[in-house]
A = this chain, B = another copy of it.
């Protein structure tokens, strides 16, 4: 376990300067502070510092709304705080941006701010810190992201394979044979999982398979103007979407094209946001219990802090049937009758 003295010796500066740098004193330059922090992390000083009773947790959020009850992240944040705060932890909610990740390493950021551990919401596979988490030593729990072989990281989320299985089983039971899938960008681990799970479930239920039945893009507009018309031309009678907001937009767009939901086409979302009860028609979706995800994330984090190497903690999903899915039409509505926009 490294001490302040070790850091001072390594950098050939005084212990007082190291201490000042670690404690954020204003008379230490930003460059020197960074060097001290990085050396502290390198020498393993962080762990010793944390053991002195640091009780602060950082909840990082990126690419995700969380301030209002209808936002995806809201219940997760509340659930996490509901579990962490009674256990004596202080939780800081910190929106994370790219410049921060470029400016400082994850371990150094945590040390600098005296956080014992982190819970990450919304990281994508291209985030800089994701690669640092492969070898970091500060406990981290990640929603919907899996870091292999680092015993201080844990993946929490729902069982996406199960959720997709429930969705396809539900649609098959209603007579659908040709089912399409629209997804957000595949630079997200959870989108990759759901994408693979879609094809795995089609195969399991002996339904037509093939990559022409799925489309993905970061932008809704591409999904609507390119992939959705392509699916409709394949005569799909049901479309599953990787998340509810996309499903809602697809539903509206289909209705604008003159398709009735669910009489002509069934639409099924993922996540079961509060919105689903209020769309027209109300939307069938795969529920993730976001409050329990937040609480479970705290359990995982406190386990990591206690040295228990939890790797993965998943919750069961649940199919919530509303009115956007129904019996498959005897024959899909004739496409000639649809005013389909030109594909690019």
Q: Is the CB of B310 within 8 A of A296?
A: yes
Question: How many chain copies does the complex carry?
Answer: 2
A311 within 8 A of B: yes
Report yes or no: A309 in contact with B299, Cβ–Cβ below 8 A: no
A318 shortest CB reach to chain B, Å: 7
A90 at the interface (CB under 8 A from B): no
Within 8 A of B (CB), among A144-183: 148-151, 158-159, 161-162, 165-166
Contact-size category for A: 20 to 34
A165 to B311 alpha-carbon distance, docked (Å):
14
| Interface residue ranges of A63-110 to B (CB < 8 Å) | none
Docked CA distance A313–B303 (Å): 12
Main secondary structure of the interface of A (DSSP, over half): mixed
Q: How far is the CB of A210 from chain B (nearest CB, A)?
A: 23
**Which residues of B sit under 8 angstroms from A159, Cβ to Cβ?**
148, 311-312
Q: Is A308 an interface residue (CB 8 A)?
A: yes
- What 0/1 pattern do residues 276 to 316 of A give for CB contact below 8 A with B? 00000000000001001001100100010000111111111
Neighbouring B residues of A313 by C-beta, 8 Å: 310, 312-314
A314–B316 touching, CB < 8 Å: no
- In the assembled complex, the CB of A302 is this many whole angstroms from the nearest CB of chain B, namely 10
Cα of A161 to Cα of B150 in the assembled complex, Å: 13
Residues on A facing B (Cβ under 8 Å) = 148-151, 158-159, 161-162, 165-166, 289, 292, 295-296, 299, 303, 308-316, 318
What 8 pairs across the A-B complex have the smallest Cβ distances? A309-B316, A312-B314, A159-B311, A311-B316, A151-B316, A311-B314, A292-B308, A148-B162
